[in-house]
Structure 1
Amino acid sequence: MVIQEVRAFNRFYTNLIGALDYSKHLYTPYTLTESRVLYELAHSPRTDAADLRVELSLDAGYLSRLLGKFERDGLVERARSQEDTRRQRITLTGRGREAATLLDERSREAVGVLVSRVPAEERERLVAALRTVREALAPGRAAGAEGPVLREPAPGELGWTVARHGALYAAEYGWNTEFEGHVARIVGDFARDRDPERERMWIAELDGRPVGSVMCVRDEAEEGTARLRLLLVEPEARGHGIGERLVRSVVEFARERGYRDLVLWTNDVLGGARRIYQRAGFTLVAEESHHSYGVDLVGQDWRLGLGGREAVPG
């Protein structure tokens, strides 16, 4: 009985996925497998070719040919891993990130259309059923146990970042709306003037919803220096290592883009974030008392040398 039901579900779901065929209905030039590779490169911290092959269960020769095609199309760059020269590190270019973001947006739209057919009162039951299937077929791994996904922000999530910074810092530290306005200006500048080759923002997603953010931007006052901004992790998502992964993503991105230094400004009351910065190798270089956001604070400047050479803008 169980086998019959699983096989019936497989047939049903295969037909359903066929209705969302990437090349025909998402209006992209990529096959489903190519789209999966782009998705992994955009969202997974493991970007070695060997890790991709294992994660996606792909033949090594086929993956190599696919990556070669991506490289010729200007979507990826391939280089030897700094940690292990036997491994090949794959990095999305600015054009590759744009392609992955477009695929993600269109996939979300397609699934949104599919889910819109489900009555609103039935959607919670649908989500619970999907989570039950995942948990039952992967015993010992609860939904979300594979860890968060890091990705670029989807439409609406720049606003989410502003709102969550304002709400969390008010609840946890008593800061007023001056801080939310400060965050809104940072996000607005990023949305308006971002250089996709040298600046990036990450959203941490857990169980299908955003739970964290961070940003890497050029430091306007110091040539060859990047600035880490807007690190945030929702209280209920803490303990998954999300903060460390977000900061590590910024460090790796800044190093790959050829920045010499990475800097950040924070306040001494943010003890959890400060410990993450210290573990990542940042050094405290200056402190200064100030009154901002309705409270007295001690601002701190932190710096991490990357040993890089400023990248030539592409």
Structure 2
Amino acid sequence: MAAPELINDIRVASRQMVRELGFMNSTLAATDYSPSAVHTLLEVGMRGSVTAAQLVQLLGLEKSSVSRMLAKLIRAGELQEVPLAEDARYKKLVLTAQGKESVSRINSYGETRVQQAMEYLDPARQSMVASGLSAYASALEACRKGTPLPPGDKPDIITGYLPGMIGRISEMHANYYSNHYGFGYFFESKVASGLAEFAGRLESERNNIWLAVLDGRVVGSVAIDGEDLGNNEAHLRWFILDDICRGTGIGRQLLARAMQFCDEQQFSAVQLWTFSGLHAARRLYESFGFRLTREWQGEQWGRSMLEQQFTHAMERG
């Protein structure tokens, strides 16, 4: 249990952040829109499209409040409804051209505010702020959703195949990316089929997988595929954590094991493919020496996203 003094310090800082970020005003981020409307535009912009039901979960608001706010944004010309390809009875929300311009202005405003504030902090405190805010935000979300408290014991990290891992890793991917990005069966089936194919090649010394296991249940994973790219390059794949592991350092431990393996195998480089918006994961990748090398609009995840390739060039003495 946190000390009363610590709780009070966090509450004071939280109130100050609310004031400084402008949440006491009726509008936000130099727009004419409410905080909930601004957040909605940002979420739709980051994900490409969402449903009203997904926004209810993302924003933590009542369905009626979300419906009224969406109606205003549609009337204002920021959003439009498009029938879902797999079931025309349901609709998804996408940005209009006007909406994309609004999101661009909101992002520019937000990035400027953060950059200006970061200039008052040294690099060490900048990293501390980023990791601390991320962990605290995840803890607040877990409280709202009623996620069970993490047990006192830390997960064990094991190497190699574990019965049930294909289904469990696919489940973690499907749950996270459905809740946060609206991905559906296409994405889940792609993860499951790719894992199943890779599992058949785990006997190769160039391939490996690491699993974080707690009470017999897989709660995190990362894999290195040393065969699918060729050219003596490794492919980092299926890096995922259960919600109870976020902010615990388990992700860093998994990546450290994977990168140590790549060094031992003397790969010339390690590649990973992801998409824009996964800020916490990107910071972690970059802390291990990965750098963004390519960016393009693609649909390999089942819908149009700003896809990214990160590369870690292995150093050799």
Query: TM-score normalized by structure 2?
Result: 0.49
Query: TM-score normalized by structure 1?
Result: 0.50
